[in-house]
Copies of this chain bind each other. A is one copy, B any other.
Amino acid sequence: MKATVSRKAHFNAAHRLFRPDWTDQQNKDVFGKCNNPNYHGHNYDLIVSVTGHINKETGFVIDLKVLRDIIKTEIEDQFDHKNLNLDVVEFKSLNPTAENISVVIYNKIKRRLDPDLDLQVTLYETPRNFVTYSGDK
């Protein structure tokens, strides 16, 4: 019996959408006010969903205390109260769109999980804009 267990987390960060290899005008045209050179910010909400067999003995797909600690170490401790562009190594040369942040989060958590478990992450940049990523398929 397979089930999906989900855990919500959150982090507050500054970011800016920007490509250094584009002109200022190109950056402005594509990224609009998200391109503000002084940065803006969000309360990011994150849902991490893990799918696998329910262990018959424990009744768990994954111990949520373990999942919570992985999210804390890999994501919250790295991203919370940070400037994603300046403080987080993964975005030194990757534009921190919600799509790209989701892929980075997926990869950081996936390598910490048992390979039999499937992973999906949903990242809310605002309550009205969010992205779901579940690996390259």
**Residues of A bordering B, CB below 8 Å:** 1-10, 12-15, 17, 19, 30, 32-34, 36, 38-43, 49, 54, 57-61, 63-65, 80-83, 86-87, 94-100, 102-103, 126-133, 136-137
Cβ B87 vs Cβ A33 within 8 A: no
Task: Please name all residues of chain B whose beta carbon is closer than 8 Å to the beta carbon of A12 when the two chains form the complex.
Answer: 40-42, 126
Task: Name the residue on B nearest A98 (C-beta).
Answer: B5
Task: Please name all residues of chain B whose beta carbon is closer than 8 Å to the beta carbon of A126 when the two chains form the complex.
Answer: 10, 12, 43
Task: Please name all residues of chain B whose beta carbon is closer than 8 Å to the beta carbon of A40 when the two chains form the complex.
Answer: 12-14, 41, 80-83
Cβ A97 vs Cβ B42 within 8 A: no
Task: Name the residue on B nearest A10 (C-beta).
Answer: B126
Task: Please name all residues of chain B whose beta carbon is closer than 8 Å to the beta carbon of A43 when the two chains form the complex.
Answer: 41-43, 126-127
Cβ B5 vs Cβ A99 within 8 A: yes
Cβ A87 vs Cβ B42 within 8 A: no
